Amino acid sequence: MIYCLQELNLHSDGTVLYYGQLLQNCMIHSVWDELKASSNFVEARKAVNVFNSNNRWRKRGIAMVPTKFGISFTTKFMNQAGALVQVYTDGTVLVTHGGVEMGQGLHTKIAQVAASSLDIPLSCVFIAETSTDKVPSASPTAASASSDLYGAAVLNACQQIKARMEPIASRGNHKSFAELAEACYMEWVDLSAHGFYITPDIGFDWNAGKGTPFNYFTYGAAFAEVEIDTLTGDFHTRKADIVMDLGYSINPAIDIGQIEGAFIQGLGWAAMEELKWGDDNHKWIRPGHLFTRGPCSYKIPSVNDIPLNFKVSLLKGVPNPKAIHSSKAVGEPPFFLASSVLFAIKDAITAARAEEGHLDWFPLDNPATPERIRMACVDSITKKFASVYYRPKLSV
């Protein structure tokens, strides 16, 4: 029933959000429908029900969760980017932009944009380290918008250089880009350009609470199936399926890797990573002292926490007219999809509680640690320590 309610509340093209932004090119229905089919949701529900009816101390649960993530800095002036592109007479290209490469693949995407624009091999494009003596006043590499911003700035610089090269290129007597670059140099053509880009048509009135703070939205949905041990509170994620709308992805391998990483990071947030400090509920910790300061006490996901069956797919044939090469941002949008694991855990706990005759609502805060899972699975043991609606501030 809950999934029918979710479907009824999904946004559509033409939806006006509570702060006044009009949704365009809304793909959440397509994402949701594709996920329902790829995860075989109806059959999965039946299989879980059969498993739960045959097992007293182990229970399974499933959940589907959609997400909509706005792309742009909500501080308007930050939505600008600069880049410096230099073409050399040997046909190589050096690109400097204001974004920071931190493992997310930004440099690779920027190199692809330059190579595509100049119609040269990717191996001919080199990325210089980010430096304010080349590109000043760069906005933070944040808000999942760096590929959009710096990709567009690089494209702008490349287009300037191409326009300067065009009169000589039109003669058609150059066998390679290197020969063309050499010819342009000999005829005093400037082969260096500064590109600049600002995100158009956005703005938000913080006093009125109205406006268009986002350039567009990235949509996604995730399905998760978990199995819990009702006696220990342990769980593992048996399956996770994700469908994301990333427009025409510039680099699907990078984007899928980002989706996988964000989901696992979110899994830690949803079910593992808990801050514990000294207070009235934890008198064994010195007052005001943070106990979870390292990997021995603050548990982040490891290889053992990766779903046993993990599948990510991108929605096909849906260009995004609002960003570079019809692509979409990917860094943060998939993070919340890991809440599907939290809700799948709650679904499994619901089955365990039903066997004890408890069919009404119950609290389950994240992270869904083993302690919280165990105490929520009401039985003769837990009833000795807490009510069926026990809601611990923190785990023990």
- CA distances to 18, 69, 79, 215 from 74, rounded to whole Å, are 16, 12, 9, 10
> 362-391 in b/e burial notation, b at 16+ Cβ within 10 A?
bebebbbbbebbbbbbbbeebeeeeeeeee
Q: Which of 328, 342, 341 is nearest to 69 (CA)?
A: 328
Q: Which of 308, 345, 346, 315 is nearest to 330 (CA)?
A: 315
Strands 309-314 and 235-245: parallel
Strands 216-229 and 58-71: antiparallel
Strand, coil or helix: 38: helix
Strands 203-205 and 93-97: unpaired
d(CA 379, CA 347): 17
Strand, coil or helix: 244: strand
Q: Which residues touch 102 (CB under 8 Å, ≥6 apart)?
A: 141
- CA distances to 10, 185, 214, 290 from 149, rounded to whole Å, are 29, 30, 13, 39
d(CA 29, CA 21): 19
* 147, 324 contact by CB (below 8 A): yes
Whether the CA torsion 125, 128, 134, 135 is positive or negative: it is positive
- CA distances to 20, 44, 184, 267, 347 from 340, rounded to whole Å, are 29, 15, 56, 9, 10
- CA distances to 94, 282, 306 from 318, rounded to whole Å, are 32, 51, 29
Q: Which residues touch 89 (CB under 8 Å, ≥6 apart)?
A: 178, 181, 182, 185
Helical axes 106-118 vs 146-169, angle rounded to 10°: 20
State the catalytic residue, choosing from 332, 355, 356, 371.
332
Residue 332 appears among annotated catalytic residues: yes
Positions annotated as catalytic residues are 332
